[in-house]
Structure 1
Amino acid sequence: MLHATDEGYDEARSLWNGMFEKHPSIVAKCRGAADVMAAVDFAREHDLLLAIKGGGHSLAGKSVCDDGLLIDLSPMDDVRVDPDSQTARVGPGATWGDFDHEAQAFGLATTGGVDSRTGVAGLTLGGGIGYLARSYGLATDNLLSVDLVTAEGELVHTSEDVHPELFWGIRGGGGNFGIVTSFEFELHEVGPEILTAQVFHHIDDVRRVLEFYQEFMTDAPDEVACYATITRVPTESAFPEAYHNEPAVALVGAYSGAIDDGRPLLAPIAQFGDPLLAAVEPMAYTALQQGDDDGFPDGERYYQKAHFLETITDAVIDVIVEHTETLPGPYSGALFEPMGGAINEVDPTATAYPHRNAGFSFSITGGWSDPDRDEEIMGWVREFFDDLASHATGGVYTNYLAHDEDDRVDSAYRENHERLVNLKNEWDPENLFRLNSNVEPASGGGQ
């Protein structure tokens, strides 16, 4: 246990998102399931607010709390790959960088995020969108089993065959039902190099680029994932110096199959329009997965809101053009992530993650340093989000809910929400695990 005066306390309570400066009364640094069980018992018996920190990315800041008990899982960052069965056992403190480092030694991977610092646990339990999702499904679709500690401090194993309803719920239902101490994933042959496309256009071309992007993704095979992002031009020699730090629209594509097979499929991305930079080339899969790391530095202030869209219409583009001529804050931008393929082949009720019919996830991120700009930049995100609402599906990716969006939890779980409430009633009726995209039990316990 760590207290405020102990060495390591400040590091344990720190998150990637610097907006959240909180001070738990106690930090339990757990090194195994037994430690987690003891910490859960302690929190329950002393009626303490309980926060759980895995990788510590925590966009919404719910991985730390004031007062209460913080369970820090970061020491449990082991990744054990079995290349014969093409599976991996992963601890809840591991990041996707940890995961890919081990799996790529054998030319294996499963769907992860687009930032290597993101925790395996949080991303997977909320769904898990990434470059491989159209080929192999979400991270949660590649989950074979987990061990988790329940609100009663008991360790249970769950899979399709053991506690299948609980296994259904954790695949998209977040950390509502317990603390996972071990994940078992299915792996796929990917890398160590993967074909990528990286293309930047001036922001004045955003309308034409997004029209092309919608058309390109409509016909793209499942092995192709292309992201469209409104961002700033990197301060790198590959880009004309006059455009450094200026707003731009970029297309980043990846092909999960054989490199030569992907060249004609990714070529149109580079051939379209008059880009500032265009490259289609092999890249280490681990480098692709680290692509967002530098653009969103640790400890800055981040606020994000997101929609799902069926398609990118002219009206959607109108809203984007209006709000992205300038980007407030050095790390602000917007991102289209393509759905479809293996993601949408799963029935919306087969896992707790319900968004199996969307065409794109669209997220708007404000990123800045100065707390005095909080209202300005959060206001930009909110206005942008509100102006898109009438063009969206009404759903939202659980992992993209902001700290002030508890009223959108129903939109995250949609038709699966009532079933999740029943599961919460069974496994956590007092709502001990409530610092998350919270499914409240029928009793409203722990509020």
Structure 2
Amino acid sequence: MAPLSKARTALAALRADLAGEVLAPGDPGYDGARTVFNAMIDRHPAVIAQCETKADVVRAVRFARDLDLKIAVRGGGHSVAGMALNDNGLVVDLRRMHDVTVHPGSASVRVEGGAVMSHLDRATQPHGLATTGARVSTAGVGGFVLGGGNGWLDRAFGLAVDNLLGVELVTANGSTVLATARENPELFWALHGGGGNFGVATALTLKLHELPEFSVALLMFVPETGPEAIRIYREIIATGPPEVGGGVLYITGPPEPFVPGQLVGTLLCAVLVTYVGGEDGLRKLAQPLLALPHPAEVVSAMPYADFQCMLDVPPGLRNHWSAEYLTALPDELVDIFCARAPSMPVPSSCRHVLFPQGGAVAGPPEYPVPYRDAAWTVHPFGVWEDPADDEKALRWVRDVRADVRPWRTGAVYLNFIGDEGRDRVVAGLGTENLNRLARVKRQHDPDNVFRYNHNIPPA
């Protein structure tokens, strides 16, 4: 750490140089700026650089290196482990950098590093275009894509990382590089799942796909009907086209208009069928589910960007999530999954989730994304308000993982988990991939400056 006088002089210079704002403890707005999605995270950075330009990012990184400060990078701030923050270091806060530029002629979009999904989806929607995004509108685009990126459109359009065309990056020495299939191709490969290990992504270019119509069927079942509903949904996924997706979510009944008022606060099994196409086609696919008795439903064509907001979870709640990727979804596992739902905190915003894979998710095997061949994903998504529920929620997440152990592939999507130890990082990247990634890390970040992530130490 630099002497106090040097640090004060450097901080004053940073405040003068940045187009954005610089916040330190005691400044107005500091406490709000250090708040992230997960209310269990309470960290106190020494400096928060709210960058507005790539030049701001370069200046902030060089400031931190000169003072030997730890660096964390914040885009959306959704990481359950709070990786967007540190204690007594610098946070490069990208949230003011959220411009989105659509290029319809080339079916591509340039997204600045602080954009969230709603920025991306609202910009592409008027053009009838979209790309695979997260399952909520508030997640950061940069962390989502660089971590792999699965979402509602992945069976049709592939993982988000499969649609990555280029990354503009500020590296650990404060230089700027462009990574594409032709320029810095090894770094480009590493950014397909290696996350924020290699620098600060100030902008990403993504491939877009035509999405003139999008339809959704959300059906609410009482818990006793859950096993039958899931088996029917499993068959719809197995026999349907890759344009059909969605998932199963045990939830606490949401407010109207989605379910009648008397179901609010009760445990429900929600089956969500998404379809890249019109409502008529969706109704044909979902007919076996629609025929099953259910107390509430929403079946409609709707703009994809509107749907992305439909299942948003508000910030400021307590969070703990994890995931396991599954070889199959046999009847025995369906029953086990359903039996575990009542042990989550109810009422709460917790979600006991199953997602299908398949379709385009199984595409480009050359990237460091080892979970492509899984059939299903179980994702215990713990979100609750009362600290008194902490142990119950954490135990529920652990129990869900234990339940599915006989069917797990061993791989995992790192964006779905927090800090679960070194073995899980290896599981999220693959052993052979990790060795190659470590060599790329050595080239671009030999001092492991960018380590507030699922870390890849340099070789």
TM tier relative to shorter chain = over 0.9
Q: What is the SS of the residue equivalent to 2:197?
A: coil
The answer for the alignment partner of 1:96 in structure 2 is 117
For residues 25 and 55 of structure 2, the distance between their equivalents in structure 1, rounded to whole angstroms, comes to: 24
The answer for the alignment partner of 1:412 in structure 2 is 428
For residues 88 and 415 of structure 2, the distance between their equivalents in structure 1, rounded to whole angstroms, comes to: 24
One-letter amino acid matched to 1:206: G
For residues 127 and 102 of structure 1, the distance between their equivalents in structure 2, rounded to whole angstroms, comes to: 22
Measured against aligned partners, the alpha-carbon deviations of 1:127-152 in whole angstroms (never above 9, x if no partner) come to 11111111111111111111101111
For residues 440 and 375 of structure 1, the distance between their equivalents in structure 2, rounded to whole angstroms, comes to: 32
For residues 372 and 228 of structure 1, the distance between their equivalents in structure 2, rounded to whole angstroms, comes to: 27
The answer for the alignment partner of 1:245 in structure 2 is 265
CA-based RMSD of the aligned residues comes to 1.6
Measured against aligned partners, the alpha-carbon deviations of 1:353-373 in whole angstroms (never above 9, x if no partner) come to 222201122100221112233
The answer for the alignment partner of 1:438 in structure 2 is 455
Summarize the alignment of residues 97-136 of structure 1 with structure 2, pairs less than 5 Å apart: 97-136=118-157
Per-residue deviation at 1:44?
2.1
Note the residue ranges of structure 1 that are not aligned, 5 or more in a row: 443-447
For residues 360 and 242 of structure 1, the distance between their equivalents in structure 2, rounded to whole angstroms, comes to: 32
The answer for the alignment partner of 2:216 in structure 1 is 196
The answer to whether residue 359 in structure 2 is matched with residue 338 in structure 1 is no
One-letter amino acid matched to 2:301: P
Q: What is the SS of the residue equivalent to 1:324?
A: helix
Measured against aligned partners, the alpha-carbon deviations of 1:156-208 in whole angstroms (never above 9, x if no partner) come to 001011111110110111111111111111111214x5121111111112221
Q: What is the SS of the residue equivalent to 1:235?
A: coil
The answer to whether residue 408 in structure 2 is matched with residue 392 in structure 1 is yes
Q: Check the 8 A contact 1:270/1:279 in 2, yes or no.
A: no
The answer to whether residue 292 in structure 2 is matched with residue 292 in structure 1 is no
Measured against aligned partners, the alpha-carbon deviations of 1:290-343 in whole angstroms (never above 9, x if no partner) come to 1211xx221000100100112112332233133112431501121112211111
Among 230, 248, 270, the alignment partner of 2:290 is: 270
Range with greater deviation from structure 2 (101-110 or 279-288): 279-288
Q: Check the 8 A contact 1:247/1:326 in 2, yes or no.
A: no
Range with greater deviation from structure 2 (124-133 or 321-330): 321-330
One-letter amino acid matched to 2:384: W
Q: Check the 8 A contact 1:151/1:178 in 2, yes or no.
A: yes
The answer to whether residue 107 in structure 2 is matched with residue 86 in structure 1 is yes
Among 30, 47, 51, the alignment partner of 1:26 is: 47
TM-score of the superposed pair, with normalisation by structure 1: 0.94
The answer to whether residue 162 in structure 2 is matched with residue 144 in structure 1 is no
For residues 238 and 278 of structure 1, the distance between their equivalents in structure 2, rounded to whole angstroms, comes to: 7
For residues 214 and 201 of structure 2, the distance between their equivalents in structure 1, rounded to whole angstroms, comes to: 31
Call closer, same or farther: CA 1:250–1:284 in 2, change over 3 Å. same
Q: Check the 8 A contact 2:419/2:454 in 1, yes or no.
A: no
Per-residue deviation at 1:261?
4.0
Measured against aligned partners, the alpha-carbon deviations of 1:74-109 in whole angstroms (never above 9, x if no partner) come to 010100112222211110110000111111121211
The answer to whether residue 80 in structure 2 is matched with residue 59 in structure 1 is yes
Q: What is the SS of the residue equivalent to 1:175?
A: helix
Q: What is the SS of the residue equivalent to 1:84?
A: helix
Overall identity of the aligned pairs, in %:
38
Among 190, 200, 206, the alignment partner of 1:185 is: 206
The answer for the alignment partner of 1:257 in structure 2 is 277
The answer for the alignment partner of 1:305 in structure 2 is 322
- Equivalent residue pairs, number: 436
Note the residue ranges of structure 2 that are not aligned, 5 or more in a row: 1-21
Q: Check the 8 A contact 1:91/1:181 in 2, yes or no.
A: yes
Range with greater deviation from structure 2 (248-257 or 145-154): 248-257
